[in-house]
Structure 1
């Protein structure tokens, strides 16, 4: 109900035993012998050195200076701080490992990664999730332990595993290119694609100026941008081979004619001394209009090259491809997706974001009908099933257009989400839907496990960050939840009315009522009616009686029966007893008809007597 758009989890769990030294060495040999590890001899030597030093118990010695002198055979006066050779080679090696584990290494038993920020490798079993957790194949990450409100003191072990944070899951069509001899004319897909939707090609970034390093910088940024775009499943991005085959200066109209894409991203890098100027532009291939452009000025003396590449690529992809980004807004306008009754399947998914941005019962009914028609026509359309799962869930949590029948809204939501996952296990929208359904089915630990996987796949998706941050907060991880909401707000300020309301809940739970008031005044109360409840309890705690009364009355006009089931409403949202009691305290001060003694308050009192 609260802090969900209309509305430090407990201690870390035990982890699976790490691979033994012999397992790691066997995997190292497998890596170094594989032609699919796209790394030169020096990078392979780098990998063997850091793995063997770690296995020998000398991880603390793995520093840039030691690598430079012992691996790269630099002299004793090697200046690791000003010479970026080790950092550059480490970045290449990280990328080579990430690509390897997305191709030839998918079935390898052990995963070796080199996390950013250091050169010490990490070893993990490459295992699927435990049987009793959500049935989602793919990357497994550590999950915080969360107690369900109805199982508060039952000890149980969350499905645990070891983090493998893949940079990207490379998907999309690799189509025939008229500029590439011998290319196949058969498209390849890794998952069911939308019945229709926007397509994008990333042209190689151009190197400007006379710096010999500019070409290297441009190639690296092109690669990073492609990897970032691959995380967004609502658009189709042509493969890197197609991208590389396009000659510099190719006419946009010809690109559209020969490749059939709607959007073209182009850019350039100009290098001078230690300065970089990076420019990106998104073009409408049909009209050649510039839909978006941005310039980034960077200093290599302040940040290293790979940090700059990662950051700029993330910013470009987020601005252009996120659910509320340039492409989706342009595509909505072009297709006329907003009017109700639009029969196109893809248009239904675009209208879903309109619904999420301004929850209403009327739009819920129309889009639910539209998506049900879409999946009937296109039963392999994973994204549509995922969105339908959310709409079924909203029947329960918001009371929108509840259908009678043998299956409850939660059951239908879970079934639709799991079907979406079966169709496309790496679809972020499907993972988000399953996370939400599991959360409201009172399986918070399993839900957050799925959320972690989704964020690992696409940390730039603001729709996902906002939803996952909300669920973390409700489960008690207020600090991390707030951090994710702040990230989403920074990347998608146009949706600030939602993020501000949820952050107001977080501030309220921290008893920071002044900040909570500031945030709730920035929230879009007219779009998210349940924020009226949040406003009322904040004003009541601050002693602002008239404003609390106005917000209370507004909320009761919209949801007059919600307090009849207060305990159930709180329990299904997995709030901790202390947080539920805090809400009840503020609600009574605001004059809401909260029960005189809630289940959470009874549980807290019983627990205090047992101490």
Structure 2
């Protein structure tokens, strides 16, 4: 098979690339992706490409039995579509500078191997002139390219649904004069453009809308992704699920398409929100893009083991591209994350708070219409004890981008800490609806809401869902609610974990909670609950706890 490889490429090069892809974040979490890709690559390199069929993939890679029938079970076709998208995402992000690329063309399961000239290094970008101006330039509205929606699952009777859905989206979006819509019509379908970078150059578009349509025995699922160019960031995703009633299929198609169009194109919709989210200067180094992408990936889990690497990447990005507002905002928020999650303490924490404020102010100066910049400023002000100024910056950020689930959840948490329950819970519900996989720490909002009302069973349920062992506040929630319910063993176990993270926390709990702007009544009530749970050295100078209980 080596003779079929591109000039200058060896089988070992391909195997090294396979190992690199399989160890990336997107593949490390998917056993099927790794097994599928490994099987087809190794079979191709061994000269057995003719054996790569749905049956052999299912039995050899997925462990299906010998009676597997590809006509009845579409697992391989579905997984192939997911694998192609995973590879595309990898080569847009972590693998952007890889010297070798593995591609699985549509219509086949046999991979192609490509040698990328200049891969493996990180040269400065040489963008066309327009790359230096913000996405969605002033003077024109957002431009969106509607790509083909891949169709998965049984095709019987539904063969043209995906194409019809894409057409319906195009028709709906064109009704909004402020949005310019593009697509490539081929036969009955809307085609997929082969290359995002060429797409940006050919059509000068700001966004690409793509997705999948999946049919099952009883249901219809449509997954949509909105990608921003030229950064490649996915800025919005949503899943629509409906029971499948064949007689109402066209009605369902039109109903969902109309919902999507309204969500995207209305005056305060996603396209216009992102259009206002100016990033200042675009970075000249591809690593600066990647550093920000790594930060957004980090805040999905707040994995402490990744904190230092993400910090170094952002600091390098800011040094290389000092005019990149989103890089400045991301580093500012990363510093505040280190403080609020107690990754640092003492003098270092104070230094990071001050640095975060300076970075956020610079980001706002460079990009005064960036929601990310104002979000960073809001966080820096919050931890500088500037509560009213912080809430004002949060509201500005929300006006600029009301569809950001992370921002919405963060503001809901700040309002809950100040006992502003109605707006806090409204925003919390909106955020969870948009993104059910928000970081578990945002459950503090719901915990405080139930705890303050004496609904300790509901508060404990929220606390149990907040699985972040290295974050002390998850243990505070669990200990306080369990103590109020008389669950002594669980309360004590939570205190043990709390003291593992910070053995002296009981001595400075009041100072810590005040530094986070928690309402005095909540501080006093939590102190009473934590003493009941067995936390040692809990002492407060606040009002008597009985009075705090009455106020709550």
Q: TM-score range by the shorter chain?
A: 0.5 to 0.7
Q: Is contact 1:552-1:590 (8 Å) kept?
A: yes
Q: 2:366 aligns with which of 414, 417, 423?
A: 423
Give the match for residue 356 of structure 1. Answer: 299
Find the aligned partners of 1:343 and 1:217 in 2 and give their Cα distance. Answer: 33
Q: Is contact 1:563-1:594 (8 Å) kept?
A: yes
Q: How does 1:150-229 map to 2 (within 5 A)?
A: 187=130, 190-191=133-134, 201-203=144-146, 218-221=170-173
After superposition, the C-alpha distances for 1:77-104 in whole angstroms (9 at most, x for unaligned) are xxxxxxxxxxxxxxxxxxxxxxxxxxxx
Runs of 5+ unmatched residues, structure 1: 1-184, 194-198, 228-239, 269-276, 286-290, 323-341
Establish whether residue 259 from structure 1 lines up as the match of residue 199 from structure 2.
yes
Establish whether residue 409 from structure 1 lines up as the match of residue 361 from structure 2.
no
Q: Is contact 1:263-1:282 (8 Å) kept?
A: no
Q: Is contact 1:386-1:420 (8 Å) kept?
A: yes
Find the aligned partners of 1:282 and 1:567 in 2 and give their Cα distance. Answer: 44
Runs of 5+ unmatched residues, structure 2: 1-127, 137-141, 150-159, 213-219, 230-236, 243-248, 275-284
Q: Is contact 1:549-1:591 (8 Å) kept?
A: yes
TM-score by length of 2: 0.55
Find the aligned partners of 1:512 and 1:386 in 2 and give their Cα distance. Answer: 38
Find the aligned partners of 2:521 and 2:327 in 1 and give their Cα distance. Answer: 38
Find the aligned partners of 2:135 and 2:258 in 1 and give their Cα distance. Answer: 33
Change (3 A) 1:560 1:511: same
Q: How does 1:51-450 map to 2 (within 5 A)?
A: 187=130, 190-191=133-134, 201-203=144-146, 218-221=170-173, 240-241=179-180, 243-244=181-182, 251-253=191-193, 256=196, 258-260=198-200, 264-265=208-209, 309-311=261-263, 344-402=287-345, 404=347, 408-450=351-393
Give the match for residue 505 of structure 1. Answer: 448
Establish whether residue 553 from structure 1 lines up as the match of residue 505 from structure 2.
no
Q: Is contact 2:415-2:421 (8 Å) kept?
A: yes
Give 3-state SS (helix, strand or coil) of 2:507's partner. Answer: helix
Give 3-state SS (helix, strand or coil) of 1:459's partner. Answer: coil
How much does 1:379 deviate?
0.9
RMSD: 4.7
Give the match for residue 524 of structure 1. Answer: 467
Establish whether residue 494 from structure 1 lines up as the match of residue 437 from structure 2.
yes
Q: Is contact 1:191-1:424 (8 Å) kept?
A: no
How much does 1:418 deviate?
0.8
> What is the count of residue pairs matched by the alignment?
364
How much does 1:312 deviate?
7.1
Change (3 A) 1:428 1:298: farther
Give the match for residue 508 of structure 2. Answer: 565
Give 3-state SS (helix, strand or coil) of 2:302's partner. Answer: coil
After superposition, the C-alpha distances for 1:544-580 in whole angstroms (9 at most, x for unaligned) are 0000000110111012233332232122221222111
How much does 1:541 deviate?
0.6
How much does 1:370 deviate?
1.4
Q: 1:535 aligns with which of 470, 478, 490?
A: 478
Find the aligned partners of 2:480 and 2:498 in 1 and give their Cα distance. Answer: 11
Greater relative CO, 1 or 2 (CA 8 Å, sep 6+): 1
User: Quick check: 346-355 or 365-374, which moved more?
Assistant: 346-355
TM-score by length of 1: 0.50
How much does 1:344 deviate?
2.2
After superposition, the C-alpha distances for 1:103-139 in whole angstroms (9 at most, x for unaligned) are xxxxxxxxxxxxxxxxxxxxxxxxxxxxxxxxxxxxx
Find the aligned partners of 1:554 and 1:397 in 2 and give their Cα distance. Answer: 18
Find the aligned partners of 1:598 and 1:349 in 2 and give their Cα distance. Answer: 42
Find the aligned partners of 2:255 and 2:239 in 1 and give their Cα distance. Answer: 23
Change (3 A) 1:359 1:577: same
After superposition, the C-alpha distances for 1:484-536 in whole angstroms (9 at most, x for unaligned) are 12221122112363443442232112221111122222222336442011100
Q: Is contact 1:500-1:520 (8 Å) kept?
A: yes
Find the aligned partners of 2:223 and 2:265 in 1 and give their Cα distance. Answer: 10
